[in-house]
Structure 1
Amino acid sequence: MSLLPILMYHNISETESNKLTVPLQKLEQQFQYLKNNNFQTFHFEELEKMKAIPKKSIVITFDDVTENQLIYAVPLLEKYNLKASFFIPFFYIGKTDLWINSSGVFKNKIMTIEQLKELDSDRIELGYHSYEHKKYSSLSTLEIESDFLKCEEVIASNDLKVYPVLAYPHGNYPRKGNENAHFKQILAKNNIKFGLRIGNRPNSFPFKDHYEIKRIDIKGQDNLVTFRLKIKLGKLGLF
């Protein structure tokens, strides 16, 4: 059994630094560290077929497919020969991230269909981030089923290549007893192979539960020492 850290990113900016935004300079330092220390990156489609992973394995994920990821993150992935998985909130394709602030004050552009289709599929794996970026625990069974149906309609009508890995919006999903079991049944019914929460710890691989895979939240204020500690240990009380 090996440990597999899965990193979670959101926005990238030349100037901003906050909970959801990593400065470009720091992102490059982090990617350079992974490259210089011989980490191997994988897509979930590859992990599905693997029974064991190399010692220095890692998964890079980006939520929301914002245009700033295309501008800043994709060139760095290419520069350092790294792979990543990008998760799509399908309703917002070609719009902005209005789920963050419905007044429109906080606006990051979401990639268009054309931009998503132009991504190099060998480097960028596309996955699900729900349809409307709502918390699954607040939705009924019918609403969750409808959410998946709408995602599939967008995928089919635009001929998108999307692997059935789902990053839960806000890291949220039903956690208690029967509700949790029922939610996982819905995921299986809709052919979802992996479900990603937050959790802030490296995972044991092979995964114990394919629908409760943990990701480590990388924040704008994280320096390189914090980044290295998070990869090894996850998020601690120290940061």
Structure 2
Amino acid sequence: MTTALPGVDTGLIEPPLATPLPVLMYHSVGDSVSADFRRWEVPPGAFAEQLGALSANGYHLTGLSDALAHPERRQVAITFDDGFEDFVTTALPALQNVGAGATLYVPTAYAGRRASWLDGYSERNLPLLDWPDLAALAGEGVELGSHGHRHLELDVVPTALARYDVTASRRAIEENTGRSPDSFSYPFGYHCASVRSVVAAAGFCSACEIGYRLHQPIRSRFAISRLVVEPTAGAVEILRLVAQGHRDALASARRSLRSGWRAYRAARWRLGRGA
């Protein structure tokens, strides 16, 4: 693509900017969790309704890296964090029913184990997919990405530790699946400039936060905003979400409080380490 120099009329017409990309964030698809965790679980019936509504309205449903490679499409990227077993037992059949792809982000140290980082939730005992299951997903149209190695708050730990964790997660996926992951999802959605640099240097091509907004193509691919899907969202709500993003005041408040929340978490981490 030729770019016009400032103040110089080249006579060329620049192509229009790509449209914003809706990126949906899921965790669990089921109906058996505690009230505290329910915000992160979508019931199977609601999930099927959401996918059906998006497909019927002409959206191409795919994983994140595929969506980034085709900005010209009318599409929605579907992502899952954590790698719970119900992705295979419940989410995957619904995705396949509408011909949808997805990206599954795996906290690699916990593959085949339990979600023990969910301290305080009964869901800390939810089983996670093991490596044979994860390797098999590549043949089912699912992109595997990294969710870090130990699901750390990467923006408050020392850079050397963040670097080790990110590179260890990439290496684990390569060694256990034979595939190099292209995309990363920041654990808890937390990141900063140094963490973004670490992820890029490790060889990833994109990385996701939460963000509560549609991803704008002019923004960094290492700060891709995602939309949280509410468990009560039906056809009308999911179509509004992918068209407009989150419009509620709570989402705006979360964005405005990020710096103060990071300072609190950094102090908590230091105290926990006995520093």
Q: TM-score range by the shorter chain?
A: 0.7 to 0.9
Alpha carbons of 1:58 and 1:189: their partners in 2 closer, same or farther (altered >3 Å)? same
Q: What's 2:258 paired with?
A: none
**Other-structure match for 2:24:** 7
User: Which of residues 95, 102, 117 in structure 2 aligns to 1:77?
Assistant: 95
Q: CA 1:231–1:49 in 2, change beyond 3 Å: closer, same or farther?
A: closer
Matches within 5 A, 1:174-185: 174=192, 180=193, 182-185=194-197
The reply on whether 1:28 has 2:48 as its aligned counterpart is yes
Amino-acid identity (%): 20
CA–CA separation in structure 2 for the residues paired with 1:27 and 1:38 = 17
Is the aligned partner of 1:132 residue 2:145? no
Q: Distance in 2 between matches of 1:184 and 1:224?
A: 35
> Which structure 1 residue ranges, 5 or more long, are not aligned?
175-179
Whichever residue aligns with residue 189 of structure 1, its letter is A
Q: Which amino acid aligns with 1:8?
A: M
C-alpha distance in structure 1 between counterparts of 2:104 and 2:53, whole Å: 21
Where 1:138 maps in the other structure, the secondary structure is: coil
Show the 5 A alignment for 1:83-232: 83-101=101-119, 106-121=124-139, 123-174=141-192, 180=193, 182-205=194-217, 207-232=218-243
Equivalent-residue separation in structure 2 for 1:105 and 1:168 (angstroms): 20
Q: Which amino acid aligns with 1:59?
A: A
Match of 2:257 in 1: none
CA distance in 2 between counterparts of 1:215 and 1:108 reads 24
Opposite residue 211 of structure 1, the aligned amino acid is F
Higher relative contact order (CA 8 A, sep 6+): 1
CA contact (8 A) 1:3 1:204 kept: yes
Query: Once the two structures are superposed, what CA deviation does each residue of 1:1-34 show, in whole Å capped at 9, x if it has no partner?
Result: 2121000000111455720110000000001111
Aligned pair in 2 of structure 1 residues 153, 102: CA closer, same or farther (>3 Å)? farther
- Kindly tell me: are residues 24 and 105 of structure 1, through their superposed partners in 2, closer, same or farther at Cα, counting changes over 3 Å? closer
Relative to structure 1, the CA distance from residue 38 to residue 130 in structure 2 (aligned partners, 3 Å threshold; closer, same or farther) is same
Distance 1:164 1:43 in 2: 11
Q: How many residues end up aligned between the 2 structures?
A: 230
- 5 Å-filtered alignment, 1:28-67, equals 28-50=48-70, 52-54=71-73, 56-67=74-85
**Structure with greater strand share of residues:** 1
The structure richer in helix per residue is 2
**d(CA) in 2 for partners of 1:63 and 1:235?**
19
Residue 87 of structure 1 aligns with an amino acid whose one-letter code is Y
Q: Could you tell me how far 1:237 is from its partner in structure 2? A: 1.6
Q: Secondary structure at the match of 1:66?
A: coil
Q: Which has the larger radius of gyration?
A: 2
Q: Where does structure 2 lack aligned partners over 5 or more consecutive residues?
A: 1-16, 251-275
Task: Tell me how large the CA RMSD over aligned residues is.
Answer: 2.1
Distance 1:155 1:230 in 2: 32
The amino acid that maps onto 2:242 is I
